Amino acid sequence: MTDPAYLVALDVDGTILTHGGELSPAVGAAIARAASLGHHVVIATGRSIVATTPIVEMLGLTTGYAVCSNGAVTIRLDPELPKGYEVVETVTFDPRRVLSLLREELPTALVAVEDLGVGFRVSSPFPDGELGGQQSVVPFDELLAHPATRVTLRMPDASPEDFMARVESIGLHEVAYAVGWTAWLDINPEGVSKASALELVRRRLGVEPWATVAVGDQRNDIEMLRWAARGVAMGNAPDEVKAAANEVAASVQADGLVGVLASLV
C-alpha cells in the first residue's frame, strides 16, 4: 500500500517566513522534501499574485496551485507558461459601500485595492515593503470604480488592539474581513476565504477530505484551519487562532513547520 498524497496548505508570513521575511534553511528543505514525496504543497496567503510568486520561486514550487488574496484568487503553476502561472479562479465584489463606510469611520487610514497581477491602486503610499508589486496613487473615487478581489486598510500609527476595536465597532456586513497582526485589515468578497479556495483546489486535485493539512498563524487562517482534517496553528499565533486548530506547533522562530511536515513522511 502506498502512502497517501496530502494536500498541505501553508500560510506564508509567520508560518513559512518570519515576520522579518526570512526563510529558515530547515523550513525550505522540509517544504522541498514534502513536495518531492508527492504531497500537494499549496501556498495559501493573503499576499497578492505578484507578492506570492517570488515565494513560490524561492521554495522551488513549479507545479500545482497557490491561493492568493485570502482566497479571492487562485493560480495554477506551470513552468511552460510565459509567467509561470495562470489565473484559474477569481472572486470579486463591489467595494463602494464598504470603502465609503470605512472612509467615514477611519478617515486617516491608507487604502489599497488590488490591481490583479500588477500591484495595488492606493489612496496614499503604504510603508515600504508592505505591498507587493506597483503602487499607483489614485483619487479615492477611482478606488470605488471597479470590482475588487481584495481591499486593504492600514493605519501605521495605530495599535493593533485599538485598530481592531474600531473595525469591529463599524459592523462590516456582506464582506469577509480579517485583522492582521498589525493595524491591518483585509476585506474580501462575502464567503471567500483561504478555506473556500482550498476546497476547490482539493476537488481539482482529487484529494480526499481526510488527507488535508493546513498550517497558519493569523486570523485570516482560522477558516482554513477549521476546514482541514488536520489544522495546525503556529506557536506564535494568537489564542483565538490556536483555539481553531487541532494542534499547535512550535513558533516560526523555532522552525515549527519542520516538525509538521516531517510527520507526513
Domain count, the chain: 2
Closest by CA to 216, choosing from 201, 203, 226, is 226
78-108: per-residue pLDDT in tens? 999 999 999 999 999 999 988 888 888 888 8
In angstroms, the CA 80 to CA 207 distance is 24
The two beta strands, 64-68 and 40-44, are parallel
Q: Where are the beta strands (DSSP E) in 116-183?
A: 119-122, 134-137, 151-154, 175-179
- The answer on 206 and 75 residing in a single domain is yes
Does 2 fall in a domain?
no
Other Cβ atoms closer than 10 A to 90: 15
Containing structural domain, residue 51: 7-91+192-262
DSSP state of 163: H
Q: Does 148 share its domain with 258?
A: no
Q: Same structural domain for residues 76 and 197?
A: yes
Beta-bridged to residue 109, according to DSSP, are: none
pTM of the model: 0.89
To which H or E segment does residue 75 belong?
strand 73-77
Mark whether 137 and 172 lie in a shared domain.
yes
- Final residue in a domain of this structure, among 164, 189, 214: 189
Domain boundary among 130, 158, 189: 189
For the chain (265 residues), the mean pLDDT of every run of 10, in chain order, is: 81 94 97 97 95 96 96 96 95 90 87 91 88 90 91 83 79 63 80 96 97 95 97 96 98 98 91
pLDDT in the model for residue 1: 32
